[in-house]
Amino acid sequence: MIAFLGAALLSGAGAAAAADSVAAPHVTVSLVADVDAVRPGEPFDAGIRFVLEQDWHVYWANPGDSGLAPTVRWTLPAGTTAGPIVWPHPYRILVGPLANFGYAGEVVLPIRIAPSRALEPGEPLSLAARVDWLVCKEDCIPGEAQLSLVLPVAGGAATPSRWASAFAAAHTRVPRSLDGIAVAALRHDDRLELRLTARDGGAVLAHGTANDGGGLAFFPAEPGFVENAAEQPQSVAADVVTVSLERSRQRRAPVEHLRGTLVAGGGFAPDGAPALAIDVPVRDALPPPAAGDTAEEASRVAGAGAAAAGSVWLAMGLALLGGLLLNVMPCVFPVLSIKVLDFVRQAGGDRARLGRHGWAYAAGVMLSFWALAGALLALRAGGEGLGWGFQLQSPAFVVVMIFVLAALALSLLGLFDIGLGVTAVAGRVPQGDGLAGSFATGVLATFVATPCTAPFMGPALGWALTQPAARALAVFTALGAGMALPYVVLCVVPGWLRLLPRPGAWLETFRRLMAFPLLATVVWLLWVLGLQAGSDAIAGTLAGVLLLAAGLWVRGRFAGLERPQATRRVASASALLLAVAGLATALAWCGAAPAASRVAASGPAGATDAYGIAWRPYSRAALAELRAARTPVFVDFTAAWCLTCKVNEHVVFSSREVRDAFAARDVAMLRADWTSRDDEITHALASFGRSGVPLYVLYGSGAEPVVLPSVLTRGMILDALQKIG
């Protein structure tokens, strides 16, 4: 062991940049300050500066698996005090299977000094520090030095020293909390997940990906919480970043609180700060919160049925029922009208063929459920804060749906015949078979159905999304099977077919009539689009639909089989061109909407609605505040695209009796509008074991909130209000 006792090298009063330095093995250690002269009572930074030989390092406050942090003991004149070391973020130093946290090259560790107010100009301020350190490459050498620094006392302004820029660089690397980033920590078995969410639509990282500069690294403030050398798998999206940490293998007690520093190679948004201070309670990943940070989090209610049983069979049973009931939910109904028409038309035909149509429809439903569930699980695994119905949070998806439904409606109105046109193009599909059509109807029905939460479905899906992929897919399979079941049964069970009316002349009238539910769906989707992307997007989409209609008319008028082939080709090509131009127009307009017009999406949540209820926008903070004040709260988790929500709201809030019952109890009305993506709301839904809307929660004065069914009646609301007093 080599211990160094540095000779006190006193530089004279008034000398510039006084610094005391000791050359120890592999490291030079000095005491420096960011000013050349101090003013009485005016704090400044002193610091320990280490200049290390290549491959040698000194340690951070938590040295990691081995090593030791440097320490400083001051001897200061009366009235002058020193703060703790302000640690710049460290680097990870891997030594075989171990990891250390420390510094290489050159580092200044700043310490705030508050000089006495009684200092007199002409009497220098003299600082003395005993510094102990451990310097390691692979082998380690402890060192110690007695360093001193004498600074003149100035009457005027303190002048920056030649070290000022080194101090500034060190301070840049000190972790801080950032207003634009919300941090949460979740517990998953033997891992901890840090989850960073950008507030107010901002970004988490200053650069698109963390890979610009080596990814993210978490440094725990204290030992014994996480495995220092373990990989830290991470996912990076613009507004959500997660870092997964392995819990310390020796640790038996659950980690309740996590403190440390998260470093991003490319820096955090908005201005590239490299290090974020982490100091958060740790919550159970799902179903939520043992030790919640708000009252809302502390409650687990719905979904608990499925979760507690822990049974995939129960969840699948609920999902099957939910799928069956989806058929009578308002979102699916218009599309199903097409299916009904299809059945009536085919009812007179060959039974085996009808059976095939039933199965093709079921296949369309099942594959769409799998594709949606797979995409959702993959995106969630990638750290996206998404839930069921997520595709409708994208204006582009809504535009495409509007186009498909408008085209279908125009076809039903007789503007053109889709079957004829596409068959003529594809050529290979035998005319009149139409199995692909049944398949496509299944796909369409599923995509339209997903934003609807049916009874029983919410808890089952909420549970499924927290499970391993195989189980989650099983639940989604049950849901799809439930939705397809009535049609398969109808096609396969012979007796049931006789219940359908015989096709006849009335069929043409019925077919025209069925266009109107579809057009109603288009109107609803346009309204959703308006809330998401502003009124310009509605205009753009309608203009696009106009071009589409013109194209479809051209096709219907000039591409009929009675036309010469050349005419048909030109007509088909023009129709396609017009349809594509229409879609491009619509997408361009909905993408061009300024952010300001999207704020309109929160309109319904911030104002008095058509029924005279003054809604306040939901936020966790607002809820916590109201709960703290013991105010009863009703939270309506909703979305413009959720027809179930809209129907519920109408049924319930159009009633004067219900409104009076709320008013009589001074219930605060919060609306969580999930029309556009909102991770805070996604998180709140997850805390109730849900992954989609609607969800209705009533908080009385008791600890446990009441979760109301997703298909609401006035009676249920009145009962629930009665119970909270």
Partner 1 sequence: MSFHIHPDARRRTLALAFLVSAAVLLAGPRDAAADAVVGQPAPAFTLTGTDGRPHSLAEYAGKYVVLEWLNHDCPFVRKHYVGGNMQRLQKKWTGRDVVWLSINSSAPGKQGNYPPEEANELTSSKGAAPTAVLLDPDGTVGRAYGAKTTPHMFVVDPKGVLIYAGGIDDKPSTDPADVGAARNHVDHALTEALDGKPVTVATSTPYGCSVKY
* Residues binding partner 1 (CB under 8 A): 1, 63, 65-68, 95-98, 100, 132, 134, 136, 138-142, 190, 223-224, 230-231, 233, 246, 249-252, 338, 341-342, 345, 367, 370-371, 374-375, 377-378, 381, 408, 411-412, 418-419, 422-423, 425-426, 428-429, 434, 436-441, 443, 468-470, 473, 511
- Nearest approach in angstroms of CB 544 to partner 1 is 20
Which helix (H) or strand (E) segment holds residue 261: the answer is strand 257-268
Q: Which is nearer to partner 1, 140 or 716 (CB)?
A: 140
- Nearest approach in angstroms of CB 353 to partner 1 is 12
Q: Which is nearer to partner 1, 522 or 707 (CB)?
A: 522
- Nearest approach in angstroms of CB 95 to partner 1 is 5
- Nearest approach in angstroms of CB 693 to partner 1 is 24
Nearest to 690 by CA among 676, 672, 702: 672
- Nearest approach in angstroms of CB 499 to partner 1 is 20
Tell me whether strands 234-236 and 240-246 are parallel, antiparallel or unpaired.
antiparallel
Q: For tokens 């409104």, what's the residue? A: 659
Angle between helices 312-326 and 457-464 (to 10 degrees): 130
Q: Which is nearer to partner 1, 161 or 244 (CB)?
A: 244
Task: Give whole-number Cα distances, 402 to 17, 331, 517, in Å.
Answer: 71, 14, 13
Contacts of 291 (CB under 8 A, 6+ apart): 256, 281, 282, 283, 298
Chain-centroid distance, C-alpha 356: 41
- Nearest approach in angstroms of CB 243 to partner 1 is 15
Q: Is 214 left (phi over 0), alpha (psi -120 to 50) or beta?
A: left
The CA-CA-CA angle for residues 93, 95, 98, to 5°, reads 95
Q: Which is nearer to partner 1, 251 or 723 (CB)?
A: 251
- Nearest approach in angstroms of CB 409 to partner 1 is 11
Full DSSP string of 466-492: TS-HHHHHHHHHHHHHHHHHHHHHHHH
Q: Which is nearer to partner 1, 425 or 628 (CB)?
A: 425
Q: What number of other Cβ atoms are within 10 A of residue 378's Cβ?
A: 11
- Nearest approach in angstroms of CB 410 to partner 1 is 12
Q: What number of other Cβ atoms are within 10 A of residue 440's Cβ?
A: 20
Q: For tokens 């109105």, what's the residue? A: 413
In degrees to the nearest 10, what's the CA dihedral of 706, 711, 715, 718? 30
Q: Which is nearer to partner 1, 84 or 96 (CB)?
A: 96
Q: Which is nearer to partner 1, 106 or 190 (CB)?
A: 190
The CA-CA-CA angle for residues 420, 426, 427, to 5°, reads 80
- Nearest approach in angstroms of CB 446 to partner 1 is 12
Q: Which is nearer to partner 1, 242 or 675 (CB)?
A: 242
In degrees to the nearest 10, what's the CA dihedral of 23, 26, 28, 29? -110
- Nearest approach in angstroms of CB 288 to partner 1 is 20
Burial environment of residue 601 by CB neighbours within 10 A (0 to 12, 13 to 18, 19 or more): buried
Q: Are 655 and 662 in contact (CB under 8 A)?
A: no
- Nearest approach in angstroms of CB 63 to partner 1 is 8
566 DSSP assignment: H
Q: Which is nearer to partner 1, 267 or 387 (CB)?
A: 387
SS3 93: strand
Q: Which is nearer to partner 1, 414 or 715 (CB)?
A: 414
Q: Which is nearer to partner 1, 687 or 691 (CB)?
A: 691
Tell me whether strands 81-85 and 106-114 are parallel, antiparallel or unpaired.
antiparallel
